[in-house]
Amino acid sequence: MITSDLTAERIREYLAKGKRFDGRKPEEMRELIIETGVSKNAEGSARVKLGKTEVLVGIKLDVGAPYADSKGEGNLMVTTELTPMSSSRIDLGPPQFDSIELGRVIDRGIRESHFIKLDGLCIKEGEKVWTVYVDIYSMNDDGNLFDAAGIGAIAALKTARIPQYDEESGKTKFGEWTDKLIPLEKNLPISLTVHKIGDNLILDPTKEEEDISETRVTVCMRGDKIHSMQKGNSKELTIEEFNKVLDLVERTQKEIAKQIEKQIK
């Protein structure tokens, strides 16, 4: 069900007064709940809830060949599945653009921020490296899968153990793990998406709000640096608005990073 014009109008009216349907302030996130270790056969896994939005993320590792331009580094692969389970709007069939974009945006946040120390995932330079698969599944889409997916990826990566590797055969011993975690940087790459509705900038939209969002900017920051960014949808942003987006992300990402650290201990 697409959000009706009437609801859209009401959302805008509320926002003009700095209010939202669920009582949040425009810049306020929904409650974040992170649960790790939700799937035993995965190297690491996490269930993340932002309000009613829920994603599941699992990490798998396998030994493969490195890319020619990064012979001493492990590989990273992020895939997303927007499951029909998660919303009546998603149909069965090949991945749609939404799903592809989501995967790519999360991938770039992790990759560009160098959160994973990929050089620590090299087994034999030029021949054998670990490939890290980050697989993201939407379970319930009530808006802002982007940020939930980003948080889920971090939580799952932080808890992922490296499997045993059999040097003789050069193969992964699936289902047997070492005590080693994936080598990660200390600071977390936090990806946050700011939406513009009318003259308002909001964080963490519900599905209704996302429907009437005119444009969005996803920014991934690790520590003090911005590492990736993507603007989606066609509405323009003024420079003033853009600066506000950056300020908002900078303020909020620290808080989210703290919450993640706290919840996955």
Find residue 63's DSSP bridge partners.
Answer: 130
How many residues can be counted in the chain? 265
Binding site for another protein (CB under 8 A): 38-43, 45, 52, 54, 56, 58-60, 62, 79, 81, 83-88, 91-92, 133, 135, 137, 139-142, 172, 174-175
Amino acid symbol at 71? K
Q: How far is the CB of 223 from another protein (least distance, A)?
A: 29
Q: How far is the CB of 48 from another protein (least distance, A)?
A: 14
Q: Is 24 helix (H, G, I), strand (E, B) or coil?
A: coil
Measured from the CB atom, is 26 or 152 closer to another protein? 152
Q: How far is the CB of 90 from another protein (least distance, A)?
A: 9
Measured from the CB atom, is 40 or 186 closer to another protein? 40
Q: How far is the CB of 228 from another protein (least distance, A)?
A: 23
Amino acid symbol at 146? F
Measured from the CB atom, is 140 or 215 closer to another protein? 140
Neighbouring residues of 154: CB distance < 8 A, sequence distance ≥ 6:
115, 188, 189, 190, 260
- For the stretch 230-239, contacts whose Cβ atoms lie closer than 8 Å and that sit 24 or more positions apart, written own/partner, are 230/101, 230/105, 230/108, 232/101, 235/196, 237/196
Measured from the CB atom, is 82 or 249 closer to another protein? 82
Q: How far is the CB of 30 from another protein (least distance, A)?
A: 13
DSSP E strands in the chain: the ranges are 32-36, 44-50, 53-64, 75-81, 122-124, 128-140, 161-166, 171-181, 189-197, 200-203, 215-222, 225-232
Measured from the CB atom, is 23 or 175 closer to another protein? 175
